[in-house]
C-alpha cells in the first residue's frame, strides 16, 4: 500500500466516533476556560455574587458531566476493540463457532459485521474443502 502524502490526507472521515470525540474535546476546552474565567469574574465582582455562585456551580457540574461522558465514550470505543481481539484470538486458536456481537450503543458495529462475514466465509470454505 502506497503512503499518502501529508497534504492529501483526509482529516475528517465522517465517522460518528471522530465527530463525538471532536465535540467532546472542544466542550472540555471551553468548560475549563469558563471555570477559570468565572472565578476571575467572581473575584473582581464583575458578576453579582449570588449569580456568580450559581454560574460557577453550573459550570463545575457540566464539567464533571463531560468527564463522565468521556469515560462512557472511551468505553464504547475500547470495549468493542477488546471483544474483537478476544474473538480473533479464538479464531486463531481454531474455534470458529462464535460470532462477534457489539452493543447497539457501541461504535464500529460494521466492524463486527465484517468480522462475522469473514468468519462465515472461512467456515464455508473449510466445509467445501473437507467435502472435496
pLDDT tens track for 21-52: 888 889 888 888 888 887 777 777 777 777 87
Asked if residue 93 is part of any domain, the answer here is: yes
Asked if residue 68 is part of any domain, the answer here is: yes
C-alpha cell at position 126: 473449510
- pLDDT tens digits for range 72-83: 888 888 888 888
Asked if residue 23 is part of any domain, the answer here is: yes
Asked if residue 100 is part of any domain, the answer here is: yes
- C-alpha 76/C-alpha 105 separation (Å) is 7
pLDDT at 12: 66
Q: 31 is in which domain, residue-wise?
A: 15-131
Residue 102 DSSP code:
-
Asked if residue 1 is part of any domain, the answer here is: no
Asked if residue 52 is part of any domain, the answer here is: yes
Q: What's the pLDDT band for 87 if we cut at 50, 70, 90?
A: confident
Q: How many domains does the chain fold into?
A: 1
61: number of Cβ within 10 Å: 10
Q: Is the pLDDT of residue 13 over 80?
A: no
Asked if residue 4 is part of any domain, the answer here is: no
Amino acid at each position: 500500500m502506497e503512503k499518502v502524502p501529508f497534504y492529501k490526507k483526509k482529516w475528517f472521515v465522517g465517522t460518528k466516533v471522530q465527530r463525538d470525540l471532536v465535540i467532546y474535546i472542544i466542550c472540555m476546552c471551553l468548560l475549563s476556560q469558563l471555570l477559570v474565567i468565572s472565578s476571575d469574574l467572581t473575584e473582581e465582582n464583575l458578576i453579582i455574587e449570588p449569580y456568580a455562585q450559581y454560574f460557577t456551580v453550573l459550570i463545575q457540574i457540566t464539567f464533571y458531566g463531560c468527564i463522565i461522558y468521556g469515560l462512557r465514550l472511551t468505553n464504547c470505543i475500547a470495549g468493542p476493540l477488546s471483544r474483537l481481539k478476544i474473538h480473533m484470538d479464538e479464531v486463531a486458536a481454531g474455534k470458529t463457532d462464535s460470532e462477534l456481537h457489539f452493543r447497539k450503543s457501541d461504535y464500529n458495529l460494521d466492524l463486527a459485521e465484517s468480522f462475522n462475514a469473514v468468519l462465515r466465509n472461512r467456515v464455508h470454505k473449510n466445509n467445501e474443502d473437507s467435502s472435496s
